[in-house]
Amino acid sequence: MATDVIVPTLGESITEASVGQWLKQPGEAVAADEPIVALETDKVAVEVPAPVAGVMGEQMFQPGDTVTVGALIARILEGGAAAAPAPAPAAAPVAAPVAAPAPVVEAPAYDAISPAVRGLIDTYNLDPASISGTGKDGRLTKGDVLAAIEAGTARVKSAAVAPVAAAPVAVAAPAARREERVKMTRLRQTIARRLKEAQNTAAMLTTFNDVDMSAVIEARAKYKDHFEKKHGVRFGFMSFFAKAVVLALKDVPAVGAAIEGDEIVFKDYADLGIAVSSPGGLVVPILKDAQAKSFAEIEKQIADFGERARKGTLKIEEMQGGNFTISNGGVFGSLLSTPILNPPQSGVLGLHRVEDRPVVRGGQIVVRPMMYMALSYDHRLIDGKEAVTFLVRVKEAIEDPARLLIDL
């Protein structure tokens, strides 16, 4: 008896996905509720579990194929037995003892690696055996590959070493130049479409300011150890900026509003999109009701977003909604940028790296840790005066954090 596996509901307004990777192959035993296939939607990866225990049967689609919600994607054979491995042949008698060969490290089966991860490995010409997998059954994820590249532990593929010959070895000719075409992931296609949509729809403009980070750095240095000990999370800068944005949105509510048809929708809450990096690209989970959260609650949720973004386990509903976004390009070393709106939002705050710069204070040139801030906004809804006022409110709150506590 076979049980059909159907593509489940993937989230509001999402009707299709791509097959990213089969986690079980035909003939393999499957437990009930065990993930058998990973689907890639416009926003996140979704694992589809087996409805019953049995043996993996027919697979209707290949990695990279598009599937729709409700489609038959595979079948599970109930009561079947997994294919048993072939018995090893009996060892032939050895006439004389010989030296044992050096152990061989078994590399992950190349065909078992998802197309997205395989494309990344091929791009950098990496040896999969040099990378530890953290996915299901030790499978490699994009996060594993990127982490290994960043740590310098990923090895480049090399040809097997040939026996030393008496004759000199001829120098190989330079490898021919080559090009490779890799299909864009659904997430990258969605990012491209939405960014272009924002440029085509909104009257986008960016205003800049700089902020002296001395007070925030001093407060963080003074309390970070006690904060981490008490709350179990690192005390970063993002909670200060989230709180400052909440304060600024109260003074300039148009920045958190949205245009719907011929109406402007004002909101009395702050659902902040926090842009985080994932192996498939930038994703923006929503920090809901930031106006009601403490510093510790904000830091914990942002840390959780970042961790699950790297693992690809963010839920679709966690990235829906939001009425303002904060994007911190400074973690990658960016000095200045013009962030693009995340429709239908009307504002996005870009943060950048902190660096010591000479500034004038009290008629004297002094060195201060400065950061450039950029506010991109929809000029159809927000006037220049409102945009500048909003950015000044954020600057004032960061340079005098006591304002965050007494709501000034």
DSSP code at position 343: T
310 token code pair: 């790297």
Q: What secondary structure letter does DSSP report for 262?
A: T
User: Cα separations (Å) of 216 from 237, 252, 261, 352, 398?
Assistant: 8, 23, 41, 15, 6
383 is catalytic: yes
Name the DSSP letter for residue 73. E
Q: Is 241 helix (H, G, I), strand (E, B) or coil?
A: helix
Residue 129 CB contacts under 8 Å (≥ 6 apart), including other chains: 105, 106, 107, 108, 155
Distances (CA, A) of 1 to 23, 48, 327: 22, 20, 52
What is the C-alpha R_g of the chain? 27
| Torsion, CA 37, CA 41, CA 43, CA 48, rounded to 10 | -30
CB-side exposure of 185: number of CA atoms within 13 Å? 25
Strand blocks (E) in 124-230: 204-212
Pick the closest to residue 375 from 336, 334, 347, 346 (CA basis). 347
Q: Dihedral, CA atoms, 317, 320, 321, 327, nearest 10 degrees? A: 120
3-state secondary structure of 24: coil
Q: Which of 243, 225, 242 is nearest to 234 (CA)?
A: 225
Q: Which of 4, 225, 251, 383 is catalytic?
A: 383
Choosing from 122, 379, 400, 407, the catalytic residue is 379
Give the end-to-end CA distance of the chain in Å, rounded to a whole number. Answer: 68
Q: Which two tokens stand for residue 222?
A: 């003074």
| Residue 34 CB-half CA count within 13 A | 18
Nearest to 134 by CA among 146, 152, 120, 119: 146
d(CA 174, CA 134): 36
Q: Is 304 a catalytic residue?
A: no
Does residue 312 contact residue 278 with C-beta atoms inside 8 Å? yes
Pair 143, 310: CB distance under 8 Å: yes
Please identify every residue annotated as catalytic. 379, 383
